[in-house]
Amino acid sequence: MNVTGRGLHGRVLDTLGPEITAGEYPPGSVLRTDELAQRFDVSRSVMREAVRVLESMYLVESRRRVGVTVRPKSEWNVYDPQVIRWRLAGADRPGQLRSLTVLRSAVEPVAAGLAARHATAEQCAELTECALGMVAHSRGHKLEGYLHHDVAFHRVVLVASGNEMFARLGDVVAEVLTGRTQHDVMFEDPDPAAVTLHVQVAEAIREGDAARAEELTREITVGALQELDILAP
C-alpha cells in the first residue's frame, strides 16, 4: 500500500514508518497514540488510522492497556513495497539492496524461462518495446527514463511467467530498481552489457527458448550483485 502523501495519516507514516524501520524504536518499544497525536499535531482518529496501516505491515501491534508495541524485524512484512521503500531510505540500505537482489537472482531467471513457454504475442511485443526503450535511454544520463522501461520489462517477465506468485513480486522488483536509481546505487549510465542482455532476453522469450532466457536473466542478476559490490559494499 503506497500511503505517502495521502492525507494527515500519510504525513504521520512518512515520518514514523522510517523511524521504526531504521531502528529508532527498537522491538518491544511502546508507542502511546495520545503522545504521538500530540507530537504530529493530529487527532487521535488520524493517529489510529496510521497505526492500522503499520499493523497491516506487521511493524507494530496494538494491545489494550499496553499501547502500540513495535514488533521484531523477523515479523515485519518485508515484501510490502512501502516497507521496502522505508528501509532503502535508511542506514541499512546496502543490506536491503543485497537481500532484494539475491531474491531477484533466485526468482527472475526461472520466471524468464517460464515466460519463454507461456508469454502471449502481446507480452512478447511489450518486452521488445521495453528493451528498446532501455536502449534509447541508456546514454546521456537518462536514468529516470531508463528506470521506467526497466521496471516495465521486469514486470512483464514476471507476469508472463504464468505463475501468480512470481507476478505478485512485480512491486518488490520495482522498488529495488527504483531504490538503486533514487539512492545513486547506479553508474551514471547503465552497463551496456546489461542493456544488451535485456534485448537478448526479450528475443529468447519471443523465440520460446526457455533455457537461453533463463541463462541470460541469470547473467543480469549476477551483474546487479556485482554492481552492489562496487557501489554499495
Q: Parallel, antiparallel, or unpaired for β 60-63 and 30-31? A: unpaired
Q: What is the pLDDT of residue 3?
A: 39
Q: What is the pLDDT of residue 63?
A: 84
Q: What is the pLDDT of residue 1?
A: 39
Q: What is the pLDDT of residue 4?
A: 39
Q: What is the pLDDT of residue 19?
A: 94
Mean pLDDT, 10 residues at a time, the chain of 233 residues = 58 93 94 89 90 96 88 95 92 89 95 98 97 92 90 98 96 91 75 94 98 97 84 62
Which residues, listed in sequence order, are joined to residue 30 by a DSSP beta bridge? 69
Q: What is the pLDDT of residue 179?
A: 86
Q: What is the pTM of this model?
A: 0.86
H-type helices in the chain, by residue range? 7-21, 33-40, 44-56, 81-88, 93-118, 121-136, 143-160, 164-167, 170-182, 192-206, 210-231
Q: What is the pLDDT of residue 51?
A: 93
